[in-house]
Amino acid sequence: MKFKALLTLMLLLAVLQVNAQKQQPKQQQQMKPNPDQIKTDKGALIVQPVTHGSLVLKWNGKTIYVDPYGGAEMYKGISKPDLILITDIHGDHLDTKTLDAIETAGVKMVVPQAVADKLPEKYKNQAVVIANGESTMQLEIPIKAVPMYNLPETEDSRHPKGRGNGYILTIGGKQVYISGDTEDIKEMRDLKSIDVAFVSMNLPYTMDINQAASAVLEFKPKIVYPYHYRGTEGLADVAAFKKMVNEKNKNIDVRLRNWYSQQQNK
């Protein structure tokens, strides 16, 4: 009887262990990187990485979603958006399934014309269309659209000049640059007085870490987040990017965050 009871206990422990192993990846996928806080003239700017090219900015009681993507689960526990920025037409930026899944009723969406053209009809009246070089004021935040494109400029480019928007937001006296899908273009290198930069680096869609480091060293943001760093060969070596930047300029705060903790298998 004792042997039978011991065997039953061992089988029960084995089953519990297997179930725990099955649940662990799901739990890992639901974890979000901790948000950062950046001081501004009017309270803290909260930076919440979400996944890939998606992030959330919170400031002065307002919440801004950038390229919401990956489904509603990605935004669980994050307050609903007061504003949405979309950079380009590709599915990891313009994700209509995610727009349908989150609370977007009456929320303005700042977009380039190419995105506005592809928005479902129900969102058309929410679109605020601006082109490269144009600006809009939303939530008392100045927002300027800047170029994002691939080099060299060719007819079959994945990201032709003028189709998508990068954005510069002025938040509490801080200039926040969101690169979108771009290479190390002149317009990026010529940026001035950027406090916080989100810079993409994934081949073959944007640029490699060498190009990204070279551009960052030229326009010298105070804080830079590598984001949008999953390419066809896996994740870019963002630690090497940080080393490249800081070997030449220790004053640039390169902040590495795990943008893919929720989408290990996506």
Locate the domains of the chain by residue range.
35-254
Nearest alpha carbon to residue 165 among 263, 84, 255:
84
Q: Enter the pTM of the model.
A: 0.86
DSSP state of 121: G
Nearest alpha carbon to residue 257 among 234, 228, 231:
228
| pLDDT score, position 32 | 73
| pLDDT score, position 243 | 98
Cβ atoms 135, 109 nearer than 8 A: no
| pLDDT score, position 22 | 43
Residue-level length of the chain: 266
* Secondary structure element (H or E) that encloses residue 248, with its range: helix 238-248
Between these two residues, 64 and 22, which has the higher pLDDT value?
A: 64
| pLDDT score, position 211 | 97
Nearest alpha carbon to residue 245 among 184, 204, 170:
184
What is the average pLDDT score of the chain? 89
Question: ∠ at Cα 128 (126, 130), nearest 5°?
Answer: 160
What is the C-alpha to C-alpha distance for residues 266 and 131, in angstroms, rounded to an integer? 31
Which class is domain 35-254? alpha beta
| pLDDT score, position 157 | 86
| The token pair that represents 155 in the structure block | 């007819």
Q: Lowest mean pLDDT: which of 15-24, 182-191, 197-206?
A: 15-24
Q: Per-residue confidence at 26, pLDDT binned at 50, 70, 90?
A: very low
Indicate whether 10 pLDDT > 70: no
Indicate whether 15 pLDDT > 80: no
CA distances from residue 22 to 19, 28, 207, 266 in whole angstroms, order as listed: 5, 11, 36, 18
CA distances from residue 44 to 47, 82, 86, 236 in whole angstroms, order as listed: 9, 17, 23, 30
Per-residue exposure over 234-256, b if at least 16 CB sit within 10 Å of its own CB, e if not: eebebeebbebbeeeeeebebee
Per-residue pLDDT tens over the stretch 118-175: 999 999 999 999 999 999 999 999 999 999 999 988 877 889 999 999 999 999 999 9
User: β-strands 196-200, 141-146: how paired?
Assistant: unpaired
Encoded amino acid at 252, one letter: I
